């Protein structure tokens, strides 16, 4: 078991390129679906949102991820309407989402819920802009958008399950905090690559 945890932590902090974009050919639903999964920065952020919502509990289990998805969709529309290839600040916003969501997991419920909602909404906007910038290249933009919304929602649900199962006992709770810290460290390594 310890070997598996060590391998997971090593993979999480191994510096990979932050630019998860342009991985697929962007032709439809599958490519939109795979975008948040294949980009490790996106994957970590999406799962983290679900974990944090489970740590808070109650209505936050559905409101926190919902805020993210709604603002991501708005950001996607904004990104779609832009006539540029890439925005540098969008990548920085995504990296900060990885860092701060990782910190949020590791300190568990020490941040007021309203502040978490503001952060999650902001991060959703950045992730949406990143997705939206890729929509014009998609052969079927509607299917691409539906794919990344479905992929993001699925990753949020995975995070909720991970968070819910991990808060059951002290050992898994400690492990979850370590994973949150490793997410933040990975984000710092990504930030170092940008600068």
Say which DSSP state 26 is in.
-
Q: Are 124 and 70 in contact (CB under 8 A)?
A: yes
Judged by DSSP in three states, 118 sits in: helix
Identify the burial level of 89 via C-beta atoms within 10 angstroms of its C-beta, where 0-12 means exposed, 13-18 middle and 19 or more buried: exposed
pLDDT for 19 equals: 43
Quick one: CA torsion of 114, 115, 119, 125, rounded to 10 degrees?
40
Q: Are 61 and 163 in contact (CB under 8 A)?
A: no
pLDDT for 22 equals: 45
pLDDT < 50: residue spans in the chain: 6, 8-24
Q: Which residue has the tokens 């708005």?
A: 74
Cα separation, 107 vs 181, whole angstroms? 9
Q: Retrieve residue 10's tokens.
A: 């090593």
Identify the burial level of 15 via C-beta atoms within 10 angstroms of its C-beta, where 0-12 means exposed, 13-18 middle and 19 or more buried: exposed
Residue 186 CB partners (closer than 8 Å, separation 6+)? 12, 13, 14, 40, 44, 98, 102
Domain boundaries, the chain: 39-194
Cα separation, 3 vs 6, whole angstroms? 5
pLDDT for 8 equals: 45
pTM: 0.82
Say which DSSP state 21 is in.
T
pLDDT for 3 equals: 59
pLDDT in tens, 138-182: 778 888 889 989 999 999 999 999 999 988 888 888 999 999 999
pLDDT for 85 equals: 62
pLDDT for 2 equals: 54
Which parts of the chain are beta strand (E)?
Answer: none
Judged by DSSP in three states, 140 sits in: coil
């Amino acid at each position: 078991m310890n070997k598996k945890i060590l391998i997971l932590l090593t993979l999480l902090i191994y510096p990979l390129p932050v630019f998860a974009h342009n991985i697929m050919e962007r032709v439809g639903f599958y490519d939109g679906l795979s975008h948040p999964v294949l980009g490790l920065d996106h994957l970590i952020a999406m799962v983290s949102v679900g974990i944090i919502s489970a740590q808070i509990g109650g209505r936050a289990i559905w409101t926190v991820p919902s805020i993210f998805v709604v603002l991501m969709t708005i950001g996607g529309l904004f990104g779609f309407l832009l006539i540029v290839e890439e925005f540098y600040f969008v990548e920085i916003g995504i990296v900060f989402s990885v860092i701060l969501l990782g910190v949020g997991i590791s300190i568990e419920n020490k941040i007021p819920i309203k502040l978490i909602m503001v952060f999650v909404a902001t991060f959703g906007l950045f992730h949406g802009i990143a997705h939206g910038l890729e929509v014009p290249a998609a052969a079927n933009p509607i299917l691409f958008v539906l794919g990344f919304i479905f992929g993001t929602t699925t990753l949020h649900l995975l995070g909720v399950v991970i968070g819910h199962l991990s808060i059951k006992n002290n050992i898994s709770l400690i492990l979850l905090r370590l994973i949150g810290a490793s997410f933040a460290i990975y984000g710092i390594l990504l930030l170092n690559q940008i600068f």
